[in-house]
Amino acid sequence: MHTDLSDQIVLVTGASRGIGRATATALAEAGATVAVHYGRSADAAGEVAATCGEEARPFQADLSTLDATNSLIDQVVDAYGRLDTLVLNAGVAVPAPMDASTERWADAWSETMHVNLRAPELLGRHALRHFQSQEPSGGRIISIASRAAFRGDTPDYVTYAASKAGLVALTRSIARGFGDDGVKAFTVAPGFTRTDMAQDFIDEYGEEHATEDLALDRLTEPSDVASVIVFLASGQADHATGTTIDVNAGSYVH
Ligand SMILES: NC(=O)c1ccc[n+]([C@@H]2O[C@H](COP(=O)([O-])OP(=O)(O)OC[C@H]3O[C@@H](n4cnc5c(N)ncnc54)[C@H](OP(=O)(O)O)[C@@H]3O)[C@@H](O)[C@H]2O)c1
């Protein structure tokens, strides 16, 4: 099976590090033109864009703010003329312990919901408008949720699990409501994946906590998630629209 994305413009949010970085690189290797979104890691995003070929460019937007989120899709469409696939990958895991002050608790919920759910809904809204109006019409949205959406998370990360469950419902609703417009929407739900975010969990709970549930003998790497995203972006899985693919080293069957 040959995967050729050379006719595709793809925006990957949170492409400066971790899963997003591996995804941008893998998409570019398959021929896609990649818009490399980042928040704070400008140097890292520049490196990713440089490895993704001449057409790749970094795009900065703090997804915890409404204005920056609101203009990102238009910036990408202005630069490339269209958008074929949106990978909603950027995310945060902010702890909200039960014994935190109400202010800290509320801040954690607010930041998490903004980056992990509100930004995706707004980016998705703008992307859908372009998908409907561009020629040829249509496009794909691939949301990176989490195993936590389905089995919950530890008490400190309830907000993270809730935001990802919302993202799953958002993505399924897009698949359900916009299929007639040629829009396909998928969710990828990773388990622990070796990135900066997972390292925070490992530092807190230990490496054993991350690997004890796995059927496979090693922690998932960002490239293991990226290859599934490339497959979904390719169109070869379009009739699986609305689905969620678990990439968790077999932790549900162990
Ligand atoms: N790693 C895991 O174990 C795991 C498991 C399940 C699901 N996931 C999900 O997979 C996705 C990627 O996670 P990861 O592990 O690769 O995380 P990561 O290494 O921490 O990278 C997070 C990415 O999101 C961007 N980002 C965070 N906050 C942002 C903000 N306010 N504005 C703009 N960009 C922002 C970061 O950009 P800058 O550095 O440029 O700010 C970075 O590129 C997330 O949605 C995460 O929830 C991860």
Cα–Cα distance for residue pair 136/114, rounded to 1 Å? 32
Which atom of ligand 1 is found nearest the CA of 197? 20
Instruction: Establish whether 205 is a catalytic residue.
Output: no
* Residues contacting residue 131 through CB under 8 Å, at least 6 positions apart: 83, 137, 138, 139, 178, 181, 182, 183
3 state SS of 121:
helix
Select which of 80, 160, 205, 252 is catalytic. 160
Per-residue pLDDT reduced to its tens digit, 110-160: 999 999 999 999 999 999 999 999 999 999 999 999 999 999 999 999 999
Say yes or no to pLDDT of 1 above 80.
no
Which atom of ligand 1 is found nearest the CA of 62? 32
Q: 229 pLDDT band (50/70/90 cuts)?
A: very high
3 state SS of 80:
helix
Residue listed under structure tokens 């937007």: 61
- Pairing mode of beta strands 139-144, 183-190: parallel
Q: Over pLDDT 90: what percentage of the chain?
A: 91
Per-residue pLDDT reduced to its tens digit, 49-96: 999 999 999 999 999 999 999 999 999 999 999 999 999 999 999 999
Per-residue pLDDT reduced to its tens digit, 157-170: 999 999 999 999 99
pLDDT of residue 49: 98
As a residue count, the chain comes to 254
Average pLDDT of the residues of the chain: 96
- CB count within 10 Å of CB 56 equals 23
Domain 9-245: CATH architecture, name and number where available: 3-Layer(aba) Sandwich (3.40)
Instruction: For 146-193, give the secondary structure using H, E and C.
Output: CCHHHHCCCHHHHHHHHHHHHHHHHHHHHHHHHHHHCEEEEEEEECCE
Q: Which residues line ligand 1 (CB under 6 A)?
A: 14, 16-20, 38-41, 62-64, 89-92, 115, 144, 146, 190, 192-193, 195-198
